[in-house]
Structure 1
Amino acid sequence: MPFYLQVVGYKNSGKTTMMLRLINYFCEKGKQVATLKHHGHGGMPVGWEKTDSVRQQHAGAMLSGVQGENVFQILGDEAWSLEKMLTFYATLPIDIVLIEGYKKEKKDKIVMISKKEEIALLDQLTHIKAVITTLPIKEKKYPFPIYHPDDWLLLARKLNEEWFS
């Protein structure tokens, strides 16, 4: 069963940069890493609208997949919950699943804070493992560590030790 870690925050808070850093770090440690990104802009991700997969779904298929080169895409007849997608991921030889987004889900998460008004997320979200920010946030108020973005490697090492020691 893989370890799950969410990287959450608002747009332009550094989520993708953090994801890429964690992917590189854990891959260098020999871990099999998978990712899952929430398309939070509403609607279907671009590129699906006129595909055979959509036509097959409209014809009644509950699940339609297409594979080519190193790409495997899946289209279902209903919205996939995070749990359903993670159940699928768990069938694969994966050590870590890094999830970008899905703020309200109950998985361990790193919260990216880039603006003062985003600090409210720290009181709204659950399962916070750590916070990454350049803002001065009083650590003693919160039960989780707060890192500067330049110190991401300290967090990655801590996660690696916790998960794989």
Structure 2
Amino acid sequence: MRVFGVTGWKNAGKTGLMERLVAEFTGRGVSVSTLKHAHHSFDVDPPGKDSRRHREAGARQAMLSSSNRWALMTELRGAQEPTLADLLARLDPVDLVLIEGWKRDRHPKVEAWRAETGHRLIAPGDPTIRAVAAKGDPGPLDRPLLDLDDTGAIADFIAAEVGL
């Protein structure tokens, strides 16, 4: 599987870019999966639902299934968070996996950056960031600068980078 990431600081536009890239690539006939890193406790299972009750009772894994989708939830119960490589190995094969987050991992990435957030660029000193997709002027760069709103150009860049 080809892997490419979208990284950046909070409110840089990562999730919006991911959403647009998934739509762009699937529109081109590319099969896509995504991985999103959460920096806080999250739960996709609402309180009171049967599967939530199973997990709260101590189940290590709870699987939900319907005619539309299935989901597997795993409780770490104090165990180490799986690595990105471990999580990628659990995905079904697709043409492209887009990863949101995981700034410090070594996969290739595009950095989403917006001047209005006031955050510094991550790209300087990080060779895994192959391009910056910006809204505003990030200043001089030693790698390609893309318009954060030009999803097609960003998708073209990623496709060229991963050989799609």
One-letter amino acid matched to 1:15:
K
Number of corresponding residues: 159
- Shift of the alpha carbon at 1:104? 1.8
Cα deviation code 1:69-90 (max 9, x no counterpart): 433222213133322211101x
Tell me what 1:37 maps to. Answer: 36
Q: Distance in 2 between matches of 1:49 and 1:107?
A: 36
* Aligned-pair CA distance for 1:132: 0.9
Q: 2:86 matched to which residue of 1?
A: 84
In structure 1, C-alpha distance between the alignment counterparts of 2:162 and 2:83, rounded to whole Å? 25
Q: Following the alignment from structure 1 to structure 2, what is the Cα–Cα distance between the partners of residues 25 and 16?
A: 14
> C-alpha distance in 2, partners of 1:60/1:75?
12
Q: What's the TM-score, normalizing by structure 2?
A: 0.79
CA RMSD of aligned residues (A): 2.5
In structure 2, what is the equivalent of residue 75 of structure 1? 73
Does residue 159 of structure 1 match 2:161? no
2:10 corresponds to 1:6: no
Identity fraction in percent: 28
**Cα deviations by residue, 1:22-53 (Å, 9 ceiling, x for unpaired):** 1122112211111122223x112253554443
Kindly indicate whether the alpha-carbon contact (under 8 Å) linking 1:67 and 1:73 is maintained by their aligned counterparts in 2: yes
| Higher helix proportion | 1
What per-residue deviation string (whole Å, max 9, x for no partner) do you get for residues 57-103 of structure 1? 455543322122433222213133322211101xx231111112222
**TM-score, normalized by length of structure 1?**
0.79
For residue 10 of structure 2, what is the amino acid of its counterpart? K
Verify the 8 A CA contact 2:114 2:135 in the aligned structure 1. yes
**Residue in structure 2 matched with residue 113 of structure 1 by the alignment:** 113
- Structure 2 counterpart SS, 1:118: coil
CA distance in 2, matches of 1:126, 1:49: 43
Distance 2:59 2:110 in 1: 37
CA contact (8 A) 1:103 1:125 kept: no
Change (3 A) 1:69 1:13: farther
Unaligned runs of 5+ in 2: none
Which amino acid in the other structure matches residue 99 of structure 2? I
